[in-house]
Amino acid sequence: QVQLQESGPGLVRPSETLSLTCSIIGDSFIAYYWTWVRQPDGKGLEWIGRLYHTGNTNYNPSLKGRVTMSLDTSKNHFSLTLNSVTAADTAVYYCARGVVVPAAKWNYMDVWGKGTTVTVSS
């Protein structure tokens, strides 16, 4: 059964870059959207973006060009980079597998990692 595992620093300083990796265990990249979602403490879910196995990406416009996603097929993982972070970027970050839905532009997520907490603070 597929598992996803997030990793990365738990503390990032303001104005610096947040970098996280999601390892895909027990599955391949093919035919899914690989997605990042975050959740500030006590708040709801925010979709950050997704990455298709072809390398195509879609990002949340609210993040204003600060986000980049990439995949490393040799290591079976994908990554999230968020630049110029502020305290508002403090959250639990989840990676998730998105199911391709024919005729739909977007997708739902059927497998989630456990999440990793990132705090932005000096």
Which residues lie near another protein (CB under 8 A)? 37, 44-47, 60-61, 94, 96, 99, 101, 103-110, 112-115
Q: How far, in Å, CA of 105 to CA of 122, rounded? A: 39
Shortest Å distance, C-beta 62 to another protein: 9
Number of helices and strands (H, E) in the chain? 0, 11
- Of the pair 11, 45, the CB lying nearest another protein is at 45
Shortest Å distance, C-beta 89 to another protein: 18
- Of the pair 75, 108, the CB lying nearest another protein is at 108
Shortest Å distance, C-beta 97 to another protein: 10
User: Do residues 50 and 34 touch, judged by C-beta distance below 8 A?
Assistant: yes
- Of the pair 16, 57, the CB lying nearest another protein is at 57
Shortest Å distance, C-beta 105 to another protein: 6
* Closest by CA position to 10, among listed 82, 93, 83: 93
Tell me how crowded residue 116 is: count the other CB atoms within 10 A of its CB: 19
- Rounded to 5 degrees, φ, ψ at 9 are -65, 140
- Of the pair 7, 60, the CB lying nearest another protein is at 60
Task: Give the rounded distance of the alpha carbon of 3 from its chain centre.
Answer: 15
